[in-house]
Amino acid sequence: MFSALLLFLGVTLVLGSPQVRSQDEQLLSTSSRAFECLEDGIYEDPEQCDKYWVCEQGFATPRLCEDGLVFDILKGTAGHNDPCDSPYVVDCGNKLKLQEPQYVSDYCPRKNGVFEDPDPTVCTRYYTCINGVHLATDCNPGLHFDVENGLCNYPKIVGRSGCVEKTSTCIKNGAFCCTGEKVFTEQGLSIPHPSYPDLEDCQKFYVCLNGLVPQESSCSLGQVYNEKTTVCDFPERVPECKDFYKNNKLFDVVYDDADGDGLRDFGDRRDFSQTSIN
């Protein structure tokens, strides 16, 4: 299928490659052959799948889709502001030509699209790229990612070879993964269930059961996860989380500068673990 050839197998990242030309530069270099406007409207390019033409008052203006997307004539004629879509849903026929890829990263060989894992032995994970930012997703157990259709399917149907079952497991669409890597204390003792902070929520943290199975956990209300001690602690003892509860009305007394000395009063420490927030 066209999409797999162009999006996955046709992109080779080479160290030291020259800088990719901008879309404007690519348009100038590929617009030497005039496009004849029979009437005003939007038209597909006869050779390049991610290029289209806008005809106004008999004058043709070339346009390029965002890197990784291709022109959809149905969306164009329907009046969509963005007439481009995924190659998985657009049939470009024999028009295999595309703009030069932007080479955003190993996970996003183009700025937009759905791509297989850069490690060919990893068949159970794929990456959705939007403007160069990737999101990892694992297929349901027993399925492999199909580069031909951009979906997960049974291994016999997908037909990928060289797949190796990895010990890494993820949750929250790849937001956190357990790698199985051994973790030790400062005394050299092995930690059977290592824990890690949630970088977006100081109260929450992740535990890798037996180093492999991820589990989301949370500290009691009023406490935050202390990465140094790997246990829940009071916010004032974790510098990066000291103001985590500052805007919570239940903790006004904790953050109240009653003495006027610029210091927070932590003396009236209460147990909020069983308190509900209205």
Structural domain includes residue 134: yes
Helix (H) or strand (E) holding 145: strand 144-146
Q: Are 219 and 233 within one domain?
A: yes
pTM over 0.85, yes/no? no
Render the burial of 120-132: b for 16+ CB within 10 Å, e for the rest: eebbbbbbbbeeb
Q: How far apart are CA 248 and CA 232, in angstroms?
A: 19
Q: How far apart are CA 73 and CA 220, in angstroms?
A: 55
**pLDDT bracket for residue 246 (50, 70, 90):** confident
Structural domain includes residue 6: no
- DSSP letter string, 213-243: EEEEEEPPTT-EEETTTTEEE-GGGSGGGTT
List the CATH number of the domain containing 197.
Answer: 2.170.140
Residues 65-113 pLDDT 10s: 999 999 999 999 898 889 999 999 999 999 989 999 987 788 899 999 9
Structural domain includes residue 260: no
Structural domain includes residue 8: no
Q: Are 149 and 168 within one domain?
A: yes
Domain hosting 240: range is 178-251
Q: Are 187 and 165 within one domain?
A: no
Structural domain includes residue 101: no
| Total domains present in the chain | 3
Structural domain includes residue 43: yes
